[in-house]
Amino acid sequence: MRLVLMMLLTSLSCGSCLAALGGVPTDFGGQRIRQARILSAGVPAAFSVQVTTLPSGTVVREYISPAGTVFAVSWQGPFLPDLRVLLAQYFDVLTAETARHPKAGHSQVLIEKPEVTIESSGHMRAYTGRAWITSALPGGVTSADIE
């Protein structure tokens, strides 16, 4: 339903850029990766999705607004992606929240902040997660659109 157009990207305009969430899509530090871009349904398309399969087998999706900014990311696969790259400035929110270690530790992550929501769950060899900037979701787009 959402798949309108798919094109292979052989390179990105900003080879040294690592920023993802809140910035431009990442090239994962120039790793050899497979990427595809998918446009959302609707005219004009509300967003596009850059799908990257990392060498580890993990699939990363970056949700890009018409203005070119990544407003959401998700991952699924046998290894965690480089979350410092993928979450960019929001990586510190993840580490600050998961560093809390009350008597009852928490092995799964659901962080709901006004600026960002981060979900991360799974176990060794099977990880899944999402993160999005609520204020940056394009009009008509909800978290349910983030696979």
Partner 1 sequence: MRLDIASELAALRARVFVLLAASATCAALASCGGGSGTPAPVNLPPPSVSITAAPSTVFAGQSLTLTWNAQSTGGAACDASGAWSGQVGISGTRAVAPATPGTSIFTITCGSATSSVSVAVAPAPAATNHSIPITVDNGPAAAGGALNVPYVSVTVCRPGTTVCQTIDHVMVDTGSYGLRLMVPLGAALGLPALAASAGGSVGECAQFISGYTWGGVFQADVKLAGEVASAQSIQVTGTSPGGVAAVPSACMSVGNNLGNVSALGANGILGVGLFREDCGSACVTSAVSATYYACTGSTCTPTKMPLAQQVSNPVAAFATDNNGVILTLPSVPDAGVASLSGTLTFGIGTQVDNAIAAETRYAVDANGNFVTVYKGSTMTASFLDSGSNGLFFNDSSLPTCSASKGFYCPPSLLTLTATNRAFDSSTSGAVTFTLIDVDTLAPSIIAASVGGTNGGRRSTGANAFDWGLPFFFGRRVFVGFEGGPGGAYWAY
Nearest to 38 by CA among 28, 47, 29: 47
Helices H / strands E in the chain, number of each = 2, 8
Burial of 68 per CB tally in 10 Å (0-12, 13-18, 19+):
exposed
Among 38, 79, 93, 134, binds partner 1 (CB under 8 A): 79
- Interface with partner 1 includes 127 (CB under 8 A)? yes
Among 39, 48, 130, 137, binds partner 1 (CB under 8 A): 130
Comparing CB distances to partner 1, the nearer of 65 and 76 is 76
**Residue 8 CA to chain centroid, in angstroms?**
18
| Three-state secondary-structure class, residue 93 | helix
The amino acid at residue 66 is: P
- Interface with partner 1 includes 147 (CB under 8 A)? yes
* Minimum CB–partner distance for residue 64 and partner 1 (Å): 19
- Interface with partner 1 includes 80 (CB under 8 A)? yes
Binding residues for partner 1, per CB under 8 A? 31, 54-57, 74, 76, 78-80, 82-85, 91, 94-95, 97-110, 119-130, 143-144, 146-147
